[in-house]
Structures are given as C-alpha cells and as structure tokens.
Amino acid sequence: MSDKAPRYQRILLKLSGEALAGKNDMGIDSGVLDSMSLAIAHLVGLGVQVGIVVGGGNLYRGAALQKQGLVGRVTGDQMGMLATVMNGLAMRDALERRNIKCRLMSALPIGEVTENYSSRNAIRYLQNNEVCVFVAGTGNPFFTTDTAACLRGIEIEANLILKATKVDGVYNKDPNTHEDAVKYDELTFDQVLDQKLGVMDLTAIALLREHNVPLQVFDMAKPNALLHVVMGDSEGTKVINH
C-alpha cells in the first residue's frame, strides 16, 4: 500500500458475535480477537477514528432463547444485549493489550463495568484517538446490533458504516443457499429495501437511507479487507443513496 491517506476519517465498524467465535460454534476465539485488534490498531495508527459495535450472537440471541422455551422474548433480548457486553469487554482488553486507548460504552447502565453511552462523550473520545466500543445494542428489545451500529454511526457522525461479515458482499440472493447468486460491487439502499436483500436488517438500512450514510459490506476473514475499505480501495459491496 502506498502512502496515500485514508478515505474515511471516522468509521463505525460492526463486528458480529459469530465473527468473534471464529471456527467455533460459540464463545470467543482468542485468535480472532487478536487479528481483529491488530487490524483496528493499524487503522488507529493511520489516524482513523474508530467506533465499534459488537454483536452477541456467539453467546445468546433473544429470538432463539424464546424459541427454545427458555425465557420470553424481552428477557431473551436482554440476555442477548448482556452477551454483547461480554464480547465488548474482551474486545476492549484485546485493544488495550496493543496499547490502544479504548472506551467501553453501554446503552444499558452497568455500574463500574462500562460507562454509560453518550454521543457527546463518544465524539470527544474519538477526537482524542480513543477507540469506542459500543455495547448493549440500542438498549431496547426487538432490535439488532446491526440497527445499533447504524444508529451509533449516525450519532457519532461516522463517514462510513462497515459491516464485517461471513460473506464478501451483497448478492442478488443469499449466496449461502444459492450457488448462482451474483455479487454487487455497488447498489442503492432503495434496491436493498425493494429486493429485501438480507445482508442487514431492513430497519438498519432504512436508517442509513434516511440519514444518507454509506455502508460497506465485506468479508471479515479476508486479510487486509478492513484496511482496503478504509483506504477507499475496491472491496466487498458499497451501498449508497443514489
């Protein structure tokens, strides 16, 4: 890579819980944490301001807990939100081991374990080159961490929302179930909504469309993909308004 400057000064990165589990079915894989924290540290070194929303699907998902008959949906979603807090704690420590200053900010107040989310404080921390890890989703049941990522991204005035996921972009149909699915390099929020393309939930997409914040979807397991996105190089799929 040349000495060109990053295209985006402030980003919001969505990391799913499943990404943190790596090749395991659940839990947190230390190797994945290590490589993710290294990639993020690289961006911080380039002067990029980084906010992160972590998911919790590697531990608990409210809808699945309800389906098992374990708890009701609201309780299940609360367990899911607390799962994101645990993932966030692990992510913060992984970043701090790399001497990256990091804040863990929760949508639900959890005493001394996290600090309460405030967009004003988050923006101050980001301006001070501290990474902000946002946990507990939106703080409300019936939402997802994808929606939380878009919400936080809009609030902190991120230039781009990045969804690091298991597929390398948005396709015309689910590539995991359709061998003939075709990948888009770029498409609009209207196309995603009209065609109900399932890579991010529709609430999240509608928020980004309304607030005109671009989204880039890319393969979290591909080496240097995160860096390519931030440098403005072609990677994954970009979703924009027009």
Sort strands 115-116 and 160-165 into parallel, antiparallel or unpaired: unpaired
In sequence order, which ranges of 26-156 are alpha helices (DSSP H)?
Answer: 30-45, 62-67, 73-97, 119-127, 145-155
Q: Indicate whether 45 belongs to the interface with ligand ADP (CB under 6 A).
A: no
Contact (Cβ atoms closer than 8 angstroms) between residue 161 and residue 150: yes
Number of residues engaging ligand ADP in binding (CB under 6 A): 16
Out of 171, 207, 229, 239, name the contact with ligand ADP by CB under 6 A.
171
End-to-end CA distance of the chain: 29
Q: Indicate whether 174 belongs to the interface with ligand ADP (CB under 6 A).
A: yes
Out of 51, 56, 57, 76, name the contact with ligand ADP by CB under 6 A.
57
171 is in an annotated binding site: yes
Sheet holding 49-54, edge to edge: 115-116, 102-106, 131-135, 49-54, 10-15, 160-165, 215-219, 237-240, 186-188
Q: Which stretch binds ligand ADP (CB under 6 A): 60-68, 90-98, 120-128, 197-205?
A: 197-205
Q: Indicate whether 197 belongs to the interface with ligand ADP (CB under 6 A).
A: yes
- Name the site residues for ligand UDP (rule: CB under 6 A): 16-18, 55-57, 61-62, 76-77, 80-81, 83-84, 137-138, 140-141, 143-146, 148
Output the known binding site for UMP. Answer: 56, 77, 138-145
Output the known binding site. Answer: 14-17, 56-57, 61, 77, 138-145, 165, 171, 174
